Amino acid sequence: MKECDDFRIIKHALNRINIREITIEYIEKSLKSLEPLGINKTRENRFSLIYPHETKSSEDLYIIIEINDFKEIEVIACILNLFWGG
């Protein structure tokens, strides 16, 4: 688990970040200072935040977060999704 100022990234997400073209710095920047392209509520306390990929305009970055009973934010997954425009 990686502790950041305002949130934690769980081990599962860290393992996936290391094999995908995503940086922890961009995740932090996205959550702290960028406006998401979209927000989807997937469960009572789970949200999918959509951001543009850091370097590839054809992909989006989905950051999946959970907010626990103590109002702590945990990043539980980071997923790349191809944008299919048309």
Tens digit of pLDDT at every position of the chain (86 positions)? 555 567 888 888 888 887 887 888 999 999 999 999 999 999 999 999 999 988 888 889 999 999 988 888 999 999 888 654 44
26 to 5, 31, 44, 69, 71: CA distances (angstroms): 14, 9, 26, 26, 23
Contact present, 51 and 63 (Cβ < 8 Å): yes
Q: Which helix (H) or strand (E) holds 82?
A: strand 73-82
pLDDT value of position 60: 92
Q: Token digits for 49? A: 């935040």
